[in-house]
Amino acid sequence: MAVLEIKTYPDKILKEKTAPVTEFDEALQKLIDDMIETMYSAFGVGLAANQVGEPKRVLVIDVSSKEAAIPLIVLINPEIVSMEGAMENEEGCLSLPGYTTVVKRAEKVKVAGLDRKGAPIEIEGGGLLSRALQHEIDHLNGKLLIDRIGRIKRELFKRRHKKAAAAGK
């Protein structure tokens, strides 16, 4: 297994909608294993394939550090089937290092997709799992955390980012 480079804002791949997976081959299994390794080494709770430069509809999530009863999740071609309720909570993103903001998301979601072998699965979750599923599926749809905040906050983020980049940070 290898730790992959996590793409950060403003990398263009983060804004692209990912392509559905059609082949469940060795290359896909290696990508999944590498994504899991990368997520753990970055101390993240989720990672989407485009965050490591692969424009495929693949995500991995592990919220067991906060919600012990939930095992590692690998989802291929995930789609949100239903959402209910609303919650606001602080969120960060491996592709926006050092940045957190409060985001409103559905309290509970049901997601349908395929497991790493191509078998259909459905996952229902609330709390952190719901938030992680929505966040990673946003990535697969080319949407970043900063696309979910108000225009003024987003402009402030972009200005700060530009300033930090110019200062070489």
What tokens does 20 get?
């559905």
Considering the candidates 37, 124, 136, 155, report the single residue annotated as catalytic. 136
With b for 16 or more beta-carbon neighbours within 10 A and e for fewer, the 20-31 pattern comes to: ebeebeeebeeb
First to last CA, the chain: 29
Burial of 105 by CB count in 10 Å (0-12 exposed, 13-18 middle, 19+ buried)? buried
67 is catalytic: no
Q: Is the peptide bond before 10 cis (omega within 30 degrees of 0)?
A: yes
Residue 19 exposure: Cα atoms within 13 Å on the Cβ side: 6
Active-site annotation, residues: 136
